[in-house]
A and B are shown apart, each in its own frame.
Chain A
Amino acid sequence: ETGVTQTPRHLVMGMTNKKSLKCEQHLGHNAMYWYKQSAKKPLELMFVYNFKEQTENNSVPSRFSPECPNSSHLFLHLHTLQPEDSALYLCASSQDKGLSGVNTEAFFGQGTRLTVV
């Protein structure tokens, strides 16, 4: 148990569906991240949120829409996905201490295994 919980663990969706992935962290961290891990490829950073504000969008297509309503919750809204979007989607959190100190390491959730059919 890492303190970062992702739901659902598995999701199968059609290309016309709309679904959302949820991430919750119980660590009091102020930074949250979405990563994508496709088969046979390295993990790719998708989005970064610091203090609920999106600070990085790594050229992610608009069919992926993140939302961070507070520093403990992060969502990834999905719509009109393609089969090649099937992957393991991982959420992570960390404590960004700015210039005042060394950050903690990133803590990852177990991921959501997404299959687009």
Chain B
Amino acid sequence: DAKTTQPTSMDCAEGRAANLPCNHSTISGNEYVYWYRQIHSQGPQYIIHGLKNNETNEMASLIITEDRKSSTLILPHATLRDTAVYYCIVRVSNFGNEKLTFGTGTRLTIIP
């Protein structure tokens, strides 16, 4: 699976949009971009994933660049409960199991 690069940490003011970048310059054509987050002392939680089109769900939006070498996770109105470590993972999906290779992620802190 392709490797990802994320900033170590970020701060965002409560109520503002949090934009979390991820670089995956070696991504292959059949690899998806996944985002998970881990709130302190809990298991990781799935947020969203995509292949090449932008995606949106009730939690977040995922913007993938046209060349697919980077993406941005957007939390539109960050709340204090969004403070967590956010992991960007690139992997082949559609078949096989959901084996995930986690990096160190971005520690997002929402400031009141």
Contact = CB atoms under 8 A, between A and B. Distances in A.
B99 interface: yes
Interface residues of A, number: 33
A108 B44 contact: yes
B26 interface: no
A103 B104 contact: no
A50 interface: yes
Given A44-B102, A104-B98, 11 more contacts: A2-B43, A31-B98, A33-B97, A45-B100, A45-B101, A96-B96, A96-B98, A102-B94, A103-B93, A103-B95, A108-B44
A82 interface: no
Interface of B: 34, 41-46, 49, 93-105
B39 to A, nearest CB: 10
Contact of B104 (A42, A48, A56, A91): A42
Interface of A: 2, 4, 31, 33, 42-45, 48, 50, 55-56, 88, 90-92, 94, 96-99, 101-111, 113
B46 A56 contact: no
Contacts of B101: 45
Nearest to A9: B41
Contacts of A103: 93-98
Contacts of A107: 46
B93 A43 contact: no
18 contacts: A33-B99, A42-B105, A43-B100, A48-B99, A56-B99, A90-B43, A94-B97, A96-B96, A98-B95, A102-B93, A102-B94, A105-B46, A105-B49, A105-B98, A106-B46, A108-B42, A109-B43, A111-B43
A95 to B, nearest CB: 9
Contacts of B100: 43, 45, 106
